[in-house]
Amino acid sequence: MNRFLLCIAVVCCVLSTCVNASADSLVVGLMNVDRPPYFWKDSAGEYHGIFIEVLHELEKDTEIHFTFKALPKARLRLYMVAGKLDVEMGIAPQWRREKGEVENSVYSVPFMLSEEVYVTSAAKGSFDAQKNVPSGDKFCGVIGFSKPAVSGNINRQDFLCEAQLLKMIDKKRCDYTIMPLDIYRYLAQGQLYHIAASQPISTHNMRLRLHKRNLELLPRLDAALVRMKEDGRLAALLDRYSKEHAGT
């Protein structure tokens, strides 16, 4: 009889563990193109980058497990609204203002800042340094990204990723684009592009965007991010990427 009760207890414990593991596993949506230094895939299919390391640290502190799903940006946003994804990394709330996005999103405390810059040709006359604005009206962006308010009422052409944008700017097929300074520095490092970046035109607090059904996990994630800030892990992580990938 005692052995029977012991077996029942073991089974219940296993089932409980499985339920908890399932409840604390979140699917993170990432763009299906590399955006270094935020994230990229190596030849073995493993993800690396700032976002990935932040999530790994959160796993250690919270025992919440993260898996990754790669999608085009527009579909990623739709999947978040539909509840087919749990997390979108590195998002400022002002970037997600569609009705469904506002209603279905909750946000963590910030984990890093992102400065956005104009990127344009380095040719003479392509940039007004005094006003910190580019010349020309042909704006190029990334598919699925909202048109920045500062770009005004102008022509737009979309490409898959920031790496393509820099090539189009260099070839003068686009007059300018807007992108995070971190990405510009990483992609321009060691390249012979004839391009230039402006002074920052905006700064955003980057957060984890969660589907609202995961609201109960938010306090654990926030507490872990605060600990990462207080014990210096987050600053060390960001500083390492800043030093390794500072542009020329």
State pLDDT tens for residues 67-99.
999 999 999 999 999 999 999 999 999 999 999
Domain for residue 168, yes or no?
yes
Do 128 and 108 fall into the same domain?
no
Do 67 and 168 fall into the same domain?
no
Do 178 and 62 fall into the same domain?
no
Identify the CATH number of the domain in which residue 226 sits: 3.40.190.10
pLDDT at residue 8 tops 60: no
Higher per-residue pLDDT: 141 or 148 = 141
Do 102 and 209 fall into the same domain?
yes
d(CA 84, CA 102): 16
Domain for residue 178, yes or no?
yes
Residue 247: the pLDDT is: 44
Do 71 and 21 fall into the same domain?
yes
Do 173 and 240 fall into the same domain?
no
Do 215 and 234 fall into the same domain?
yes
Do 107 and 165 fall into the same domain?
no
**Cβ(176)–Cβ(159) below 8 Å:** no
Residue 243: the pLDDT is: 75
The DSSP symbol for 146 reads P
Domain for residue 8, yes or no?
no
Least confident residue range of 2-6, 210-214, 241-245: 2-6
Query: What value does the mean pLDDT take over residues 97-113?
Result: 96
Structural domains counted in the chain: 2
Cut 0.75: pTM above it = yes
pLDDT at residue 66 tops 50: yes
Residue 148: the pLDDT is: 66
Domain for residue 1, yes or no?
no
Q: Which domain holds residue 90?
A: 14-112+204-244
- Per-residue b/e over 198-220, b at no fewer than 16 CB within 10 Å? beeeeebebbbbbbeebeebbee
Residue 153: the pLDDT is: 53
Do 103 and 28 fall into the same domain?
yes
pLDDT at residue 130 tops 50: yes
Do 108 and 208 fall into the same domain?
yes
Domain for residue 195, yes or no?
yes
Do 21 and 61 fall into the same domain?
yes
Kindly give the residue spans of alpha helices, DSSP state H, lying in the chain: 2-23, 50-62, 73-82, 99-103, 162-170, 181-188, 218-230, 233-244
Domain for residue 9, yes or no?
no
Do 18 and 83 fall into the same domain?
yes
State pLDDT tens for residues 177-196.
999 999 999 999 989 999 99
Domain for residue 57, yes or no?
yes
Domain for residue 2, yes or no?
no
